[in-house]
Amino acid sequence: MRILYFINGFDPGGAEHGLLTLLQAGFFSGHELKILAFCRGHGALADEIAAKIGEHNLILTSQSEEPTLRTFVGTFFVMLRLIREWRPDMVALSLKQANLLGRLVAMFAPRLHCVSFEHTTRYRSRRAAGIYGP
């Protein structure tokens, strides 16, 4: 199975370390995995993950520590192209910004299975909540 895992970045948080734990435990063994992120984030976690999956399977749309609006827009098109060219069977979304953008992109790929890890209970912005759903 081809899996595209989409996460905000690699800050030293629970969701980010959860991904590393899944990799260390062999959760994705036997599958083709690519990881897409808006930005590098703070710390060396991106390097640890790249060492586990291979540099060519880690796609950072920005080398910055923080994503920008420009990065979000660019990532939309990177993800859309990656889905069309690489044709994953499933996309896994982790953290709220990746969930919002990933769900928007998934609307253009109706055959794609979309799995969402929701690490938050609610959104501060009503507009974001409307896009995200009930």
CB 11 within 8 A of CB 43: yes
- Give residue 125's pLDDT: 56
- Give how far Cα 97 sits from Cα of 8, 100, 123, 132, Å: 6, 5, 10, 10
- Closest C-alpha among 60, 51, 38, 44 to residue 12: 44
At the second CATH level, the architecture of 2-11+30-132 is 3-Layer(aba) Sandwich (3.40)
What's the rounded Cα separation, in Å, for the pair 62 and 44? 15
- The domain spans of the chain are 2-11+30-132
pLDDT digit string (tens) for the chain, length 134 residues: 999 999 988 887 778 888 999 999 999 999 999 999 998 888 788 899 999 999 999 999 988 888 888 999 999 999 999 999 999 999 999 988 899 999 999 999 989 999 988 765 555 555 555 555 55
